Amino acid sequence: MIQCGLIISNTGDSCFPAGEILPGIEITANNAAGGQTVYIDPAAGFGNTIPMVGSNTFTDYTIINFPNNDVNSFGFDLIALTGGGNVEVRIFGDSGLIETLSVNATSQTFFGYIASEIVTSVELEDLTLGNVELIGMLAFGQCEGGGNPGDCVESVAQVGATEDGLNCAINAAFGASNDITVPADNSFVLNQITANILSNGDITLVNVLYYNDNAGLPGTQLDSEMGISTFVSDNIVGNAFGFDIHEIVFDVTPYTFNGEMGNDVTYWIELEVDNTAAAGGIYWEVTTDDMIGNPIALFDFGVWQYFDPTYEGVYTWTGDCEPVVSTEEDTIVGFTFYPNPAVDVIYLQADTTIDTVEIYNLLGQKVISQTIGSNTSQVDVSGLSTGTYLMNVSSEGIMSTHKVVKK
């Protein structure tokens, strides 16, 4: 065991010469009792199988700093010495504490984390026994894509007078759906919807249905959220054709539209709306002044179609951009999976044969392993706890990694 000084970094210290540690990382201690870091070789007999570093005393805790503000993902092996147990992991960003997690580090354990914002520091502390927390095999960087929280917004506004509307009443035979564009290299985590609805009577309920894209129209239904009855706001912003125009704003359970590296991806959102009059005539306002992606789609005679190719719905999709979690080798042709978040089952599809699927929690523990041998399949995730996981998919020698959320 060698004392390294207060900070282990690229500039050099008592344990590592200058340039041996990667730039952009600092290992230090909280300086509660002298603030020394320590290096422990596997031959020292402390139970670690790899070289590890960390705080030197029981009253200190280990701190990892990322001073260049260019890291949103990291991973390392973690161990608490002398019979340690749960280590509290506190992850910080520019806005403060991002998340606190508890990791069982009785034995050498892998811990990994992917954030939707820049990570500035990580604190590791065994609160129960006050043991020394050590890390090794540290890797860090930024997932490709570079998305930032809150910067996924797509909006179509009505500029002039109201021109028309497509029926979106919950008890009608019709339906209306607008597309959502997921920017390349990111996934779009939808959390709020704004829509202009023509209705005589206050809006009482909205069903939200999500679809994939089928040649520019809604395809297979992916998921839904039914019975939304609490609104951020419901304001009458005008009237037309004998109807009040309600601008409704409501939150949805965060729903992830998966993106792709290098390509925009299209999905569809349908709204089914009810009001106090339980009327069959409730309409989603349309405009010809603006167009993003495809025209608004109308469900009529059992199929989705364009009522008018110049019509676009008036809406705003608001959410968070999250960088696509993917290896550079992610070239599985035609691979998609849904829904995400998932409750019970994840459905998989590819143009090539999917060989295996493995799902890991963020501690690096494999929680599901399944052999597929087909280009379509499904994975039962009903037994997983709510949270974020990494899914490794193998197809004909190609491996891809994707973030999935269990709700």
Question: Mean pLDDT, to the nearest integer, of 331-335?
Answer: 81
Mean pLDDT, the chain, whole residue set: 85
- Residues 13-25 pLDDT 10s: 888 888 777 788 8
Task: Dump pLDDT digits (tens) for 245-254.
Answer: 999 999 999 9
Percent of the chain exceeding pLDDT 70 equals: 88
Give the integer Cα–Cα distance in Å for 198 and 245: 5
Give the residue among 4, 1, 49 at the shortest CA–CA distance from 26. Answer: 4
Q: Tell me the helix, strand and coil percentages in the chain, rounded to 5.
A: 0, 60, 40
pLDDT of residue 147: 40
Distance CA 119, CA 399 (A): 27
What's the pLDDT at 197? 97
Q: How buried is 160 (Cβ within 10 angstroms: 0-12 exposed, 13-18 middle, 19+ buried)?
A: exposed
- d(CA 247, CA 195) in angstroms, rounded, equals 6
pLDDT of residue 2: 80
Kindly state the percentage of the chain with pLDDT values over 90.
Answer: 44
The encoded tokens of residue 222 equal: 């992916």
CA distances from 197 to 28, 221, 280, 294 (A): 56, 23, 13, 19
At residue 129 the predicted structure's pLDDT band, cuts being 50, 70 and 90, is low
Give the model's pLDDT for residue 123. Answer: 92
**pTM of this structure:** 0.53
Q: Which of 170-174, 275-279, 283-287 shows the lowest per-residue confidence on average (mean pLDDT)?
A: 275-279
The answer to whether residues 132 and 82 touch, using CB atoms and an 8 Å cutoff, is yes
Instruction: For each of the domains in the chain, give its residue range(s) and CATH number, in order of start.
Output: 2-141 (2.60.120.200), 152-322 (2.60.120), 325-406 (2.60.40.3080)
Nearest by Cα to 138 from 60, 22, 44: 22
Q: How is residue 191 written in tokens?
A: 């959390």
Residue 42 is given by DSSP the state G
User: Which phi and psi (to 5°) does residue 94 adopt?
Assistant: -60, -30
- pLDDT band of 376, cuts 50, 70, 90: very high
The answer to whether 26 and 62 have CB atoms below 8 angstroms apart is no
H/E stretch holding 367: strand 366-380
Lowest model confidence (mean pLDDT) among 31-45, 157-171, 238-252: 31-45
Closest by Cα among 39, 90, 46 to 64? 90
- Find all residues with CB under 8 Å of 370, minimum gap 6, and list them: 356, 357, 358, 377, 379
* Model confidence pLDDT, tens digit, residues 41-78: 766 656 666 788 888 776 778 999 999 887 887 888 88
The pLDDT of residue 195 is above 60: yes
Q: Is the pLDDT confidence value at 144 over 50?
A: no
pLDDT tens across 200-210, in order? 989 999 999 99
CA-to-CA distance for 192 and 212, rounded, in angstroms? Answer: 19
In sequence order, the β-bridge partners of residue 8 are 27
User: Cα angle at 211 between 209 and 212, to 5 degrees?
Assistant: 165
pLDDT at 163: 92
